[in-house]
Amino acid sequence: MLVLTGLRWFDDHMKQEQHGTLCLTTERDEPRQEAIRAIVQKTGYKMISVAAVTSDKQRRKRDLEFMVQWRAEPHNVEAPPFLENLLNDPHVAAAHWKVA
């Protein structure tokens, strides 16, 4: 029983592959996707795909949705460090983070 309890604790605290979705509302042409990817990757996260891009000519805005991957302890749902960096960009109107 003691061994199983130790193994369960170890499993709960091991870093595992995690997935999340980053949704951004930005100006129509800025920031470029490469710049967004660089900000995300600088903090140890990996942008694995662009799930959706929607543009609105009247608002001169676009909505971007990215799938992001990283390694962390299970059940860690804190906001990633890159989120604040993106919100500091004057071209980013809104950012939303959701852990899958």
pLDDT digits (tens, 9 = 90+) for 26-44: 999 999 999 999 999 999 9
Domains with residue ranges and CATH for the chain? 15-99 (3.30.70.260)
Condensed to tens digits (0 to 9), the pLDDT of residues 11-26 reads: 555 668 899 999 999 9
Q: Which pTM was predicted?
A: 0.80
Q: 69: closest CA among 5, 14, 26, 19?
A: 19
Give the torsion through C-alpha atoms of 73, 75, 81, 84, to 10 deg: 180
> Rounded to whole angstroms, how far apart are CA atoms 51 and 8?
35
